[in-house]
Amino acid sequence: MNRKIIGVIGAMESEIRHLREKMESPITESRAGLTFYRGNVGKNELVLVQSGVGKVNAARTAQVLIDRYAPDYLINTGIAGGLGDGLHVGDFVIGAELVQHDFDLTKFGYPKGVVPGFGDGKSPFRFQADTGLVDAFFGSALQYLSGENVRKGCIASGDVFVADAEMKGQIKQLFSADAVEMEGAAIAQVAVANGVPFVVVRAISDLADGTATASFEAFEQETAVLSAKIVGKCVSKLA
């Protein structure tokens, strides 16, 4: 049997709880102030961890996970604000591309989102998710949602909860992003640096506008579980 080790990171307890409950006989390990849960899901071994919110927490968690457990794949699950036209709360976005919307060296002549050392320095660098994982998650998502409620696209990350129509519009325009959150691009950068295939997936909890805070609070649990269910379905059969 071609058994894989799959690392899964969620920022919040609500984003990992469902997966932890589905693991078979999980073993708990503590490293670098983080609690890792190891157990089987289907034919594969899952290493699950809560990173905390934000890009620094996400990046350090990804590196510790890679160093300790050498996963075959790295997955970031969770919830996000919807930016793309036609997105609604409860829809699902698979990040084929990841970009840091708050990385700003414009005073030195770089366009916003450019990370020196990555790409040509002339346009925002987009970390590319593994196409096989993107396709696998798209298929798994269709077992829970109809086709118009699932899309592959760009997810933008930054250390800010976007709840403002003007900021939403700027991020959407500058990066052609479909969703916005606070961890994915940091995890993507660490995965790329280590040569680990990755994907970032998000259920939409709000629309990143003036209603975002209330919507997030109302739909956090429901949408976090949706993302975790799709992850659980997919990782149980990844080859």
Q: What pLDDT, on a 0 to 100 scale, did the predictor assign at position 116?
A: 85
pLDDT band for 192, please (50, 70, 90 cuts).
very high
Residues with a known catalytic role: 15, 206
Does residue 167 register a pLDDT over 80? Answer: yes
Instruction: Compute the average pLDDT of residues 171-179.
Output: 97
Cα-Cα-Cα-Cα dihedral sign, residues 190, 54, 126, 107:
negative
Predicted confidence band of residue 1 (pLDDT cuts 50, 70, 90): low
Percent of the chain with pLDDT over 90: 90
Q: Which two tokens stand for residue 24?
A: 């078979």
Tell me: the pLDDT tens digits for 63-87? 999 999 999 999 999 999 999 999 9
- At 211 the pLDDT is 94
Supply the pLDDT for residue 24: 87
At residue 45, the pLDDT reads: 96
Is the pLDDT at 237 greater than 80? The verdict is yes
User: Above 80 in pLDDT, residue 218?
Assistant: yes
Q: What is the CATH number of the domain that holds 52?
A: 3.40.50.1580
Instruction: Name which residue leads in pLDDT, 188 or 1.
Output: 188
Please state, rounded to an integer, the average pLDDT across all residues of the chain: 96
Contact (CB, 8 A) for 231 and 77 = yes
Domain that holds residue 179: 5-235
pLDDT digits (tens, 9 = 90+) for 112-156: 999 888 877 778 889 999 999 999 999 999 999 999 999 999 999
Q: How many domains does the chain have?
A: 1
